[in-house]
Structures are given as structure tokens and as C-alpha cells.
């Protein structure tokens, strides 16, 4: 099952990321590396110092006099609409009379130098009349502050089912936010172009969203705005929607001043002004029969949305879609509220609400297991999805790999033996305790908003036989450009060295969905396939006119032309030259829209996902019970990769996702005080996993599951699913704490930081 044998460097499936050499030699270009043009303005943002209040006075006359300051923009200087809300128009670009979070932009300073802009910043005088600050989603909900209508998914009849349950357990969970910490901070560089237009280089996952937002803010057509993206130094969801504001600022200044303008956030500005993963506060109730079958599950989610909707309504929806993770539960009532608080608008982050939903069902199962005196894995395994199971949203499970991943992991990594070794270790050690957990995952692939699941690609074959490929995909480190290159090379039969991946540009490929939902390679790859096939068809027809036999079967492999399976005198290059002379169209635009998917929000039922990605991870940790510190000893994973198009890249995605998930669950602690001020506002106070805190051993094996699904060349999406393996490390640490102190009151609250571990280790029950 597991395919490890093929590893030759010439194998298409182990192609090295085309960006790797430039990344490691510092040649890759990010927005701030684009050389500034003559007359370029530097932007600085003046942002709110309180989390909620009315602006009673604002005086920037002195700041405007600083030498080098060209203009200070307030909301009154916006030529179009002061609105950047993506799903719901509830977010001004610049605050007007009220501020709703600390870090909310109020003014833009445009100056000849960064120093002048910084200097001006200090001279702005503002006063506020403070209003009550809410940071807690439950409190917001109790006060009726919601960002979008609440949602409810119902399967079966959980109220009735609970009355047939032998065991019922209820509880609460908390998951905290997560800072994206992309290496490249948010930023954009814009220049005025002819005919009332602007060109913008933006570090965005959503070039079209940036284009649409700029058009709205400037009050021009989308055809007046060209957005270009070479690559991102990471996005992780943080630039799916939240790149638009900075791009709109740079574009506004360029448009009004007729000068190039650059807006790049410094790290602490970025951390303060941008939203993070949505924290959730949730209630669960789980019911089981005497055989530990889960019969019923009720769950209520309170999502901390922050001060504006941003993508939170869509994130909320995905939480519901994944609220039963990879388990078959026949009776489910899941309710979700998006709560408005005075924090920066929270946003997409790898997993997009899915991880938050999955944590709760895992906590509920763990709770039941602890009370029943059994291992959580007994309940987990017993209730895994099978072909024919129904998800709470009505989609029927098929090509299910939940059981195969579990079984493969269990036998390959010998769970039974690990269990025994850990029990022995824990018996022999008083102040070191080990913990074990299993975390299965199931993640739906497609944008949950059906209309977003389409893409286009543009292929030019130049008359010398070289090829330029443009798609709507944004390269952000996940290797999508390399995958696109492989698709084009394989489909056209052209050597990779003759194909160039162009930047993502709204003028070349329009109306793109953001690079998100892990679906980028599927959507854009299939559009690219369509474009390449159109060109193939024209070339094959042309070759048949040369052979004079319109029955001939043509194939081009490695730039050699085969006719009826036999090598011919023709090569790719001479065929292209001849076709060009015969005025054959050597360009093609491909289009793809995912078939079969649909969803009816009015009844919350449908078939929203093209397919699901599965996997099983096994986590072993050791807790130092004197210090409360811990080490992740190992994480072993069987991952459902389909037939991976690029095993090196997909392995990197699994490792990166896993570690990012572990960070969210264990050490990354976003802290706001009760005034809505971000305390974890720098890398001295916000810790992400480094080489010392990653698992000592990571073993990831792909379950080769070449099936008839809608994945690109049968290679399943891989960007987000592995993040959710990280949840397993939380439960392994928790289990180690309980091995030391079985009566600990440690709650289901993440991240499980060393402080929380220490408190849990030494908690004394009241009796
Ligand atoms: N990998 C890297 N190196 N950098 C990133 O920013 N973003 C993740 C994931 N992997 C990200 C990454 C997120 S949030 C998503 S949705 C997917 O990549 C998007 O790309 P894909 O659709 O091509 O998988
Ligand atoms: N973005 C989005 C996403 O708009 N819809 C989604 O379903 C989604 N899923 C994951 C990540 N981003
Ligand atoms: Mo990823 S959260 O879909 O950008």
C-alpha cells in the first residue's frame, strides 16, 4: 500500500520545487524587493490605540507639515467607497467616527521617505470617548452581537437519540487564536497607469479580491485595476482576504497622487493590525450505547469573529462541516454563532474553522473515554466513517480511507506495542510521564461556497517552442507552480526546462478564486489541463495533415512526436515552427468548474465537497512533571495522498502542516488583555515551534489511494489537512499529565502551554 520504493530524481513525482534554488540563494522576489520607481511614496498607517470608542477629535495638521510628507489621507480622501468587507460590507478601509478594534487604520501618511512618515506619525493628535470593550465571544453573543446569521446542521434526531444512550457526557472547550506569522509581512506596491488605472503588486492569496476591493475604494471599474503576484513569503490564510486593505491604501495613494506608492507593514504592525485564526468557545454533549457507538452529538460553537465579518461566516460554515471529524454519528445537532468582539477581524487560517470543529468532537470522545475508563482510541476506531455513512450535511461517504489509514497506522507503527512501552515507562518513572494519542482526520476538498469552485489558465506556445503558463494559482510556498509545471509538461509532452510559470495576474487570468481551500492545484491544474489539451488537439490535427492520414494516432513525449506508437521525424520544435507558419493558434485558455458539487443552504444539505482527504496520526510525548515542560517524541502518520503528483512537495506540506498544528495546540498563545490590547505582539512574546520544539521523530507515509476522484492527476489536495494532525499532540500531552495526576482538573482548553501543564500536574481535587 505504502509506496516508498520509487525515489529516482527523474521521476515526475519527485520533481524538486522550481523555487527552491532561488529561495536558498536569496534571489526570489517578494513585494518589498521590487525596485522602487522614481518618486515613490512610502506609506505609514496611523491606527487606533483603543479597542472601541468614538473619535472626538483628530488633528494631523502638524504632522502634515513634517518635511517630506506629501499628503495625509483620511476616509474623506477616498475617491470611491470606504468599504473593504469581502463577504459582508461591514468594514471601512479607514475609520470614520468610531473605532472597533485596537490597530484599526484611521489615517494613511504618504511621504517621500519612511523616516518622514514615521516622524509625522508621532505628531498626530487624537482623542476618544471610550465605549465598552468585548473580547469574549460568549459575552458578545449574550449581548446579541453577531456578525452573520447563526447556522444549524441537523442529522437524525439527537434529542430522541440521547434518550436511548447508555452514557452521556457534557462539557466545554476553548481553542485559542493563531498568528499567521508568514515570513513576508502584508504589503503592496502600486503605480498609476494610463486611462485612470493602477497596477498593483500585492502579497495576496486573492488577486481578484484585491482587484475588486481596489476598484470599489477608488470608484473605478475592475478593468482599471491590474493586480500581479509573483509569489508570497507565506500566506496560510492570512492573505486570503486581509491583503486587500493595504493594497487599497497603496492604490488609493498612487491613484490620487499619480505617483508610485508602497505600503509594507513592519512585523509588529502586522501582528497588531491583522486578524488571526478565530478562537472558539464551545459546548458539547455526546451520547454512546453500551458498545461505545456514538449515537448522538450536540455541539454549539461560539466563534470569536473580531470587529468585522471578514471570512468568519464562511469559516463558521466549515466548522459545522467538520464537526464530526472522521466519525459516523447518526444523530447530530450542531449550532454555530459568529460573535462580534472588539478584536481585529479574525480570518482564514489553514483549516478554515475545520480544526476548531474537530477539536471539540475529539474532546468529547476523550471525555467519554476517561469517564468510561477506556482508551479514546477504542471509541475513535469503532466510530470511523465508512462508505455509505452520511455526513451531517447530507453528503454520502464514498472512497472512504478512514479505516484503511487507521489500520495501516495501527499495524505499521504497532500501536499495541507502543501502548505497552508507555505503560511500562510510566510505571518506572515518577517525574517523567509519557502520553499517547491517535488523531484521525477527514477534510472536505472544495470551497464550501459552490460558486467559487472554478478556475482558468492561459497557455502560450511561442514560435520557438517554449511555453508560458499563467493560471489563477498563487505560489505561496506550497509548491503549486511546480505542480502546474508538471501538469503542463506531462500534458504537452514538453521538457520542463522549456516551460515558464508566469506570475499570477488579473489581466491574464480573470475572476479567480483565492488560492485557498487546498483546492488550488485541483482547480487550476484541471483548467491548465484543458488548455493544454486544446493545443494538443490542434497540433495533432496539424500533424495528421502532414502525414496525410487523419486516422493516425499522435503522441508527443519528451518533445518527440510518435505516430501510431512509433517514433517519427518530427519534433516538438519543428512542429511548432511549421504550425506557426500555417497560422495555427498556439495559445489556449482553459476553464474548469468542479462537477457534481452542490449545496442548499436553506436546508443545510447537499454534496459540497469533490472528495475528502483522510489520515491517521499517532503521537507520543514526554512531560517533565517537575517543570511542566514537554517534548513531542514522535508523530507517525499514514496520509491519504491519492497518487501524489509530487511526493517531495506533499511530504513538505504534511510536515509543515503538522508542525503548524502542533504550534496552535501547544505553545502558540495569542493574548489580548481585557482592553483588547494584543500582549503577544512580537516574537519575544509569541512563540512558534522552532527546530528544538518540533517532534524528535516524524514519520509520514503515504497511503497510495489511486481512486476515481476529482483530484488533479489523482493527486489529492494536501495543503490544509495535515494541520489537523496537530490536535493529537494536545491529547497526548494531556494524557501524560493525567498519568501523573489522575484527578487533575485540566480543562479542554488549548494551547496546552507549559504553564497549563504545570497547573494541571499539581492541581489538587477538593475532596
Ligand atoms: N504552505 C506554505 N509553504 N505556505 C503557505 O502559505 N498555505 C496553506 C497551505 N500550505 C501555505 C502552505 C494554506 S492555508 C492553503 S489553503 C494551501 O496551502 C493553499 O494552497 P493549495 O490550494 O495549493 O494547497
Ligand atoms: N476559503 C473559502 C477557504 O472562501 N471557502 C472555503 O471553503 C475555504 N476553505 C478552506 C480555506 N479557505
Ligand atoms: Mo487556506 S486557510 O485556505 O488560505
- Mean pLDDT, the chain, rounded, equals 97
Cβ count within 10 A of residue 122: 10
d(CA 618, CA 243): 36
Report residue 764's pLDDT band, with 50, 70 and 90 as the boundaries: confident
Ligand number nearest to the C-alpha of 646: 1
Total residue length of the chain: 767
Q: What is the pLDDT of residue 629?
A: 98
User: Distances from the Cα of 346 to the Cαs of 82, 148, 303, 625, in angstroms?
Assistant: 20, 14, 10, 35
Residue 545 pLDDT grade (very low, low, confident, very high; cuts 50, 70, 90): very high
Q: pLDDT digits over 281-328, tens only?
A: 999 999 999 999 999 999 999 999 999 999 999 999 999 999 999 999
pTM: 0.97
pLDDT digits (tens, 9 = 90+) for 573-608: 999 999 999 999 999 999 999 999 999 999 999 999
How far apart CA 37 and CA 190 sit, in angstroms, is: 10
| Domain residue limits, the chain | 10-28+454-593, 37-132+180-273, 280-448+601-761
pLDDT of amino acid 158: 98
Mean pLDDT across 703-714: 92
d(CA 345, CA 419): 43
Place of cell 505542480: 483
Ligand 2 is surrounded, with C-beta below 6 A, by 240, 314, 318, 348, 352, 447-449, 516-517
536 backbone dihedrals φ, ψ, rounded to 5°: -55, -45
User: Does position 182 have pLDDT exceeding 60, yes or no?
Assistant: yes
% of residues, the chain, pLDDT over 90: 97
Q: For domain 280-448+601-761, which architecture applies?
A: 2-Layer Sandwich (3.30)
Q: How far apart are CA 128 and CA 56, in angstroms?
A: 5
Q: List, for residues 519-531, the tens digit of each pLDDT value.
A: 999 999 999 999 9
Distances (CA, A) of 36 to 183, 191, 263: 21, 10, 12
Determine whether the shortest distance from the Cβ of 241 to ligand 3 is under 6 A: no
Per the annotation, the verdict on 720 as an active-site residue is yes
Binned at pLDDT 50, 70 and 90, residue 2 comes out as: very low
Q: CA 563, CA 570: separation in Å to the nearest integer?
A: 9
Q: From the CA of 519, how far away is ligand 3's center (Å)?
A: 9
Query: What average pLDDT does range 38-56 have in this prediction?
Result: 98
CA distances from 26 to 33, 262, 575 (A): 11, 21, 38
Which amino acid residue places its CA nearest to atom 4 of ligand 3? 237
The answer to whether 88 touches 67, Cβ cutoff 8 Å, is no
pLDDT band at 4 (very low <50, low <70, confident <90, very high): very low
Among residues 497, 571, 558, the alpha carbon closest in space to that of 15 is found at 497
Q: Please, which residues have CB within 8 angstroms of residue 4's CB and are 6 or more apart in sequence?
A: 701
Over residues 237-247, the pLDDT tens digits come to 999 999 999 99
Chain position carrying cell 527523474: 10
Contacts of 674 (CB under 8 A, 6+ apart): 133, 135
Backbone angles phi, psi at 73, to 5 degrees: -100, 130
- Does the beta carbon of 434 sit less than 6 angstroms from any atom of ligand 3? no
Indicate if the pLDDT at residue 221 is higher than 80: yes
Asked whether this chain's domains 10-28+454-593 and 280-448+601-761 adopt the same fold, the reply is yes
Which protein residue's CA is at the shortest distance from atom 7 of ligand 1?
236
Alpha-carbon distance of 470 to 490, in angstroms, equals 16
Pairing of strands 294-306, 331-340: parallel
User: What pLDDT band is residue 1 in, cutting at 50, 70 and 90?
Assistant: very low
Q: What are phi and psi of 614, to 5 degrees?
A: -120, 170
The model's pLDDT over 103-143, given as tens digits with 9 standing for 90+, comes to: 999 999 999 999 999 999 999 999 999 999 999 999 999 99
Alpha-carbon Rg for the chain, nearest whole angstrom, is 27
Measured distance CA(698)–CA(677) in Å, rounded: 37
Can you give the pLDDT at residue 39?
Answer: 97
Residue 668 DSSP code? -
391 lines ligand 1 (CB under 6 A): no
Residues pairing with 522 in the sheet: none
Average pLDDT over residues 419-444: 98
pLDDT band at 767 (very low <50, low <70, confident <90, very high): low
- Regarding the beta carbon of 176 and ligand 1, being less than 6 Å apart is answered no
CATH class of the region 37-132+180-273: alpha beta
Whether the CB-CB separation of 489 and 499 falls below 8 Å is answered with: yes
Determine the pLDDT at residue 9: 39
CA of 236 to the centre of ligand 1 (A): 6
| pLDDT of the residue at 11 | 65
Identified catalytic residue from 170, 416, 720, 766: 720
Q: What is the mean pLDDT of residues 7-18?
A: 70
**557 DSSP β-pair partners:** 560
Instruction: Give bridge partners of residue 468 from the DSSP assignment.
Output: 460, 500
Predicted confidence (pLDDT) per residue in 443-501, tens digit: 999 999 999 999 999 999 999 999 999 999 999 999 999 999 999 999 999 999 999 99
Mean pLDDT, residues 498-505 taken together? 98
pLDDT of residue 13: 80
> Please, are residues 227 and 210 in contact by the beta-carbon 8 Å criterion?
yes
Given the candidates 3.30.365.10, 3.20.140.10, 2.60.40.1290, 1.10.20.60, the CATH classification of the domain at 10-28+454-593 is 3.30.365.10
Residue 270 phi/psi, 5-degree rounding, is -60, -45
The residue whose C-alpha atom lies closest to atom 9 belonging to ligand 1 is 719
17 Cβ closer than 6 Å to some ligand 1 atom: no
* Per-residue pLDDT at 3: 43
- Tell me, in angstroms, the distance from the centre of ligand 3 to residue 219's CA: 29
Amino acid at each position: 500500500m505504502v509506496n516508498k520504493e520509487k525515489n529516482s530524481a527523474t521521476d515526475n513525482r519527485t520533481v524538486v520545487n522550481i523555487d527552491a534554488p532561488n529561495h536558498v540563494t536569496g534571489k526570489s522576489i517578494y513585494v518589498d524587493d521590487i525596485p522602487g520607481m522614481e518618486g515613490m511614496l512610502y506609506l505609514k498607517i496611523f491606527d487606533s490605540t483603543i479597542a472601541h470608542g468614538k473619535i472626538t477629535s483628530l488633528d494631523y495638521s502638524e504632522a502634515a507639515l513634517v518635511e517630506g510628507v506629501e499628503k495625509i489621507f483620511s476616509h474623506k480622501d477616498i475617491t470611491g467607497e470606504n468599504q473593504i468587507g469581502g463577504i459582508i460590507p461591514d468594514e471601512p478601509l479607514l475609520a470614520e467616527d468610531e473605532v472597533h478594534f485596537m490597530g484599526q487604520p484611521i489615517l494613511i501618511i504618504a511621504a517621500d521617505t519612511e523616516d518622514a512618515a514615521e516622524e509625522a506619525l508621532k505628531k498626530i493628535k487624537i482623542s476618544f470617548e471610550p465605549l465598552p470593550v468585548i473580547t469574549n465571544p460568549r459575552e458578545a453573543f449574550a449581548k446579541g452581537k453577531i456578525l452573520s446569521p447563526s447556522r444549524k446542521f441537523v442529522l437524525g434526531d439527537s434529542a430522541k437519540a440521547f434518550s436511548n444512550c447508555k452514557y452521556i457526557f457534557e462539557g466545554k472547550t476553548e481553542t485559542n487564536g493563531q498568528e499567521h506569522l508568514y515570513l513576508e509581512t502584508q504589503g503592496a506596491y502600486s503605480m498609476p497607469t494610463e486611462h485612470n488605472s493602477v497596477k498593483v503588486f500585492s502579497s495576496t492569496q486573492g488577486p481578484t479580491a484585491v482587484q475588486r476591493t481596489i476598484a470599489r475604494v477608488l470608484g473605478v471599474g475592475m478593468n482599471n485595476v491590474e493586480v500581479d503576484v509573483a509569489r508570497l513569503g507565506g500566506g496560510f490564510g492570512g492573505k486570503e482576504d486581509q491583503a486587500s486593505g493595504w493594497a487599497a491604501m497603496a492604490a488609493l495613494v498612487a491613484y490620487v497622487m499619480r505617483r508610485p506608492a508602497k505600503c509594507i507593514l513592519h512585523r509588529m504592525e502586522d501582528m497588531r493590525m491583522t486578524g488571526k485564526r478565530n478562537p472558539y468557545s464551545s459546548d458539547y454533549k455526546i451520547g454512546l450505547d453500551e458498545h461505545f457507538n456514538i449515537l448522538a452529538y450536540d455541539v454549539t460553537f461560539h466563534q470569536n469573529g473580531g470587529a468585522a465579518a471578514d471570512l468568519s461566516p464562511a469559516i463558521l460554515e466549515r466548522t459545522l462541516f467538520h464537526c464530526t471529524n472522521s466519525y459516523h454519528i447518526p444523530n447530530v445537532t450542531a449550532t454555530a454563532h459568529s460573535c462580534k468582539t472588539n478584536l481585529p477581524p479574525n480570518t482564514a487560517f489553514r483549516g478554515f474553522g475545520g480544526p476548531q470543529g474537530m477539536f471539540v468532537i475529539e474532546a468529547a470522545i476523550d471525555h467519554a473515554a476517561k469517564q468510561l475508563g477506556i482508551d479514546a482510541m477504542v471509541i475513535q476506531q469503532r466510530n470511523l466513517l465508512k462508505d455509505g455513512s452520511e455526513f451531517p450535511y447530507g453528503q454520502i461517504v464514498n472512497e472512504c480511507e478512514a479505516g484503511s489509514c487507521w489500520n495501516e497506522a495501527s499495524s505499521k507503527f504497532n500501536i499495541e506495542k507502543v501502548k505497552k512501552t508507555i505503560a511500562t515507562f510510566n510505571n518506572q518513572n515518577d517525574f517523567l510521564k509519557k502520553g499517547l494519542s491517535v488523531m484521525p482526520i477527514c477534510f472536505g476538498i472544495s470551497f464550501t461556497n459552490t460558486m467559487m469552485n472554478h478556475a482558468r489558465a492561459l497557455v502560450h506556445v511561442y514560435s520557438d517552442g517554449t511555453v508560458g503558463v499563467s493560471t489563477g494559482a498563487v505560489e505561496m510556498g506550497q509548491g503549486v507552480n511546480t505542480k502546474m509545471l508538471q501538469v503542463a509538461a506531462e500534458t504537452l509532452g514538453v521538457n520542463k526546462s522549456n516551460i515558464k510559470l508566469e506570475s499570477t495576474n488579473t489581466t491574464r487570468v480573470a475572476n479567480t478564486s483565492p488560492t485557498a481551500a487546498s483546492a488550488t492545484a485541483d482547480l487550476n491544474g484541471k483548467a491548465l489541463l484543458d488548455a493544454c489539451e486544446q493545443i494538443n488537439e490542434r497540433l495533432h490535427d496539424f500533424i495528421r495533415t502532414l502525414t496525410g492520414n487523419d486516422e493516425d494516432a499522435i503522441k508527443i513525449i519528451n518533445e518527440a512526436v510518435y505516430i501510431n506508437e512509433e517514433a517519427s521525424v518530427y519534433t516538438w520544435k519543428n512542429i511548432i515552427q511549421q504550425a506557426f507558419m500555417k497560422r495555427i493558434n498556439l495559445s489556449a485558455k482553459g476553464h474548469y468548474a468542479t462537477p457534481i458539487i452542490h449545496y442548499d443552504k436553506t436546508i443545510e444539505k447537499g454534496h459540497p465537497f469533490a472528495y475528502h482527504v483522510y489520515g491517521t496520526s499517532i503521537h507520543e510525548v514526554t512531560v517533565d512533571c517537575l517543570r511542566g515542560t514537554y517534548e513531542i517524541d514522535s508523530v507517525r502518520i499514514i496520509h491519504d495522498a491519492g497518487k501524489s503528483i509530487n511526493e517531495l512537495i506533499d511530504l513538505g506540506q504534511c510536515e509543515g502542516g503538522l508542525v503548524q498544528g502542533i504550534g496552535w495546540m501547544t505553545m502558540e498563545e495569542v493574548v489580548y488583555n481585557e482592553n483588547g490590547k494584543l500582549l503577544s505582539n512580537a516574537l519575544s512574546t509569541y512563540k512558534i515551534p522552532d527546530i528544538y520544539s518540533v517532534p524528535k521523530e516524524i514519520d509520514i507515509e503515504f497511503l497510495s489511494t489511486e481512486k476515481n476522484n476529482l483530484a488533479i492527476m489523482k493527486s489529492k489536495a494536501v495543503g490544509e489537512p495535515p494541520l489537523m494532525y496537530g490536535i493529537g499532540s494536545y491529547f497526548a500531552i494531556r494524557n501524560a499529565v493525567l498519568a501523573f495526576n489522575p484527578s487533575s482538573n485540566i480543562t479542554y482548553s488549548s494551547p496546552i502551554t507549559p504553564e497549563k501543564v504545570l497547573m494541571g500536574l499539581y492541581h489538587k481535587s477538593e475532596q
